[in-house]
Amino acid sequence: MDDKILALEALKASQDATKWAYWAMLGTWISSISTLVGVIIAIVSINAWKSKETASAINQLNVAVFSFQNRLQIGRERFSTVNNREDAYEKIEILLILDKVHVATFISHNAKLRKQASVLYTDLC
């Protein structure tokens, strides 16, 4: 083989290698951008989930407290002491609803909200 042909083939091989390196670089950039987009979507999803769970916990606490207040009002109107079995069941039901309030105070993932709910529960007791 002639030296000129070998040099030409080496030049062609280096040009091909440059093209492959360019396409590999482009693929790496596209991959990193898509990974960044995936991370951003994951962060937004987690924050949306947190706010939804916080709203759900607040709603559950509100429903439990409202139910407790209603049941307590009905209980106050119906009896002053335990005279019969129905009154005893009514008092047990009030305690069960108060237990739902207690459970609702611990559902939130937010420490500040849990503290406020615990203060509310303590005031109810």
Mean pLDDT, the chain, rounded, equals 77
Note if the pTM is more than 0.85.
no
DSSP 8-state code for residue 29: H
User: Rounded to an integer, what distance in angstroms lies between the CA atom of residue 7 and that of residue 5?
Assistant: 5
What mean pLDDT is predicted for residues 111-122?
70
| The pLDDT value given to residue 17 | 87
pLDDT at 99 over 80: no
- Closest residue by Cα to residue 71 from 98, 32, 46: 98
Which residues lie closer than 8 Å to 118 by C-beta, 6 or more apart?
A: 105
- pLDDT tens sequence across 15-70: 888 889 999 999 999 999 999 999 999 999 988 888 887 777 777 777 777 777 77
